[in-house]
Amino acid sequence: LAKTTQPISMDSYEGQEVNITCSHNNIATNDYITWYQQFPSQGPRFIIQGYKTKVTNEVASLFIPADRKSSTLSLPRVSLSDTAVYYCLVGGYGGATNKLIFGTGTLLAVQP
């Protein structure tokens, strides 16, 4: 099972772009990379998912290099409400890898 490593915390200011990198050196061929956001006392919420190259949706972009041993979540123009813990998760589509394990996550603090 691929273990993930992320920075414990990051600081940013409103309006800046934030990039959070996750290392997953032991990623398996059938593993996808998924990022979640968690606010205090709430369940994690899906942000974005990818397998390789770049994925973009309305809230974030995900960059995955060719070797897939890391990934970077990019949040454009963060606001105060983006202050949360961000987790990267590596695993299959439920059937392939059922033991979906969260790492320590990155606490992003956005200041005015």
Partner 1 sequence: EPEVTQTPSHQVTQMGQEVILRCVPISNHLYFYWYRQILGQKVEFLVSFYNNEISEKSEIFDDQFSVERPDGSNFTLKIRSTKLEDSAMYFCASIWAGELFFGEGSRLTVL
- Which residues lie near partner 1 (CB under 8 A)? 32, 34, 36, 38, 41-46, 49, 87, 89, 91-95, 98-105
Residues in the chain, total: 112
Shortest Cβ distance from residue 39 to partner 1 (Å)?
A: 11
CB 75 within 8 A of CB 63: no
CB 42 within 8 A of CB 36: no
Interstrand relation of 106-111 and 9-13 (parallel, antiparallel or unpaired):
parallel
What amino acid occupies position 68?
R
**Cβ closest to partner 1, residue 47 vs residue 78:** 47
**Cβ closest to partner 1, residue 7 vs residue 103:** 103
Shortest Cβ distance from residue 90 to partner 1 (Å)?
A: 11
Shortest Cβ distance from residue 19 to partner 1 (Å)?
A: 21
**Cβ closest to partner 1, residue 13 vs residue 102:** 102
**Cβ closest to partner 1, residue 56 vs residue 104:** 104
CB 88 within 8 A of CB 108: no
Indicate if the alpha-carbon torsion angle 21, 53, 88, 74 is positive or negative.
Answer: positive
